[in-house]
Amino acid sequence: MTPESKNPSSMPDGLFSSREDLKEVARRLRRRIVTIIGKAGSGHPGGSLSAVEIVTALYWRVLRHKPSDPRWPDRDRFILSKGHAAPVLYTALAECGYFPIAELDTLRQLDSRLQGHADCCVTPGVETSTGSLGQGLSFAIGAALAGRLDSRGYRVYALLSDGECDEGQTWEAAMSAAHFKVDNLTAVIDNNGLQLSGRVRDIMNLDPLGKKWEAFGWQVSEVDGHDINQLLDALEKAKNVKGQPAVIIAHTIKGKGVSFMENNVDFHGKAPNAKELELALKELA
């Protein structure tokens, strides 16, 4: 049996059977994320854990994709603009069958296909190399416009961090998407309130974030980013928006699911030690 036949989300037009089942997928992804970062001894657990439900909703219910054919021309495109959260993408890709789950243990090793920031040249299922924050939305707009020019029906989804909304390029891209009426594009902002050196509101206050995106010409939804039902409803709403791009501001908790990582800026880019990993896995059991 192929990975596609095991996982309904892998089918071009298949949907996972139950929203409740997605909670188990999210739990499994969290366990894998902390495990592989702990084994690597480096990585970014905080922003990976905060985005788990977002990525789960996309890969198991929304995206049209084929693990057996990662470059299928009609696939929906997912752009991880917050490239340091590569572990959440890698775990989802492995679970969907893009590469063996055992390969997750090679995270950040020399010659591994799973580097600290995703590399589209070596990792199946990665659409573009990211890591320099603020650039992913621009790439996503280009991919969406290419789909329009080629008369293809795919959609493009870009996952941004709130911290990267400090970047001017993000807002140049936002203006461009509205100007060109890129309505086959949905951006999702992982709004966890923390970035590398502290609270977003202290470093560059983005509030009122929703009104800013509205002023830039986007259709805006705000949801609890850990509520699968809210995310799926917002993603479905975004698909039906015409004449403008859509953005979902997902309010999340950095380090979600692990008590000592939650809202703890220290775990933006620090791996758990052996004792911390043991505790994290108990909490995620």
pLDDT in tens, 109-130: 999 999 999 999 999 999 999 9
Using an 8 Å Cβ cutoff, are 47 and 161 in contact?
yes
Of 12-16, 46-50, 199-203, 216-220, where does mean pLDDT reach its minimum? 12-16
Average pLDDT value for the chain: 94
**Assign residue 223 a region: left if phi > 0, alpha if psi is -120 to 50, beta otherwise?**
beta
The domain locations on the chain are 19-283
Q: So what's the architecture of 19-283 in CATH?
A: 3-Layer(aba) Sandwich (3.40)
User: Using CA atoms, how far apart are residues 193 and 73, in angstroms rounded to an integer?
Assistant: 36
275 pLDDT above the threshold of 60: yes
Query: What pLDDT, on the 0 to 100 scale, is given for residue 16?
Result: 58
Q: What is the dihedral of CA 261, 266, 270, 274, to 10 degrees?
A: -50
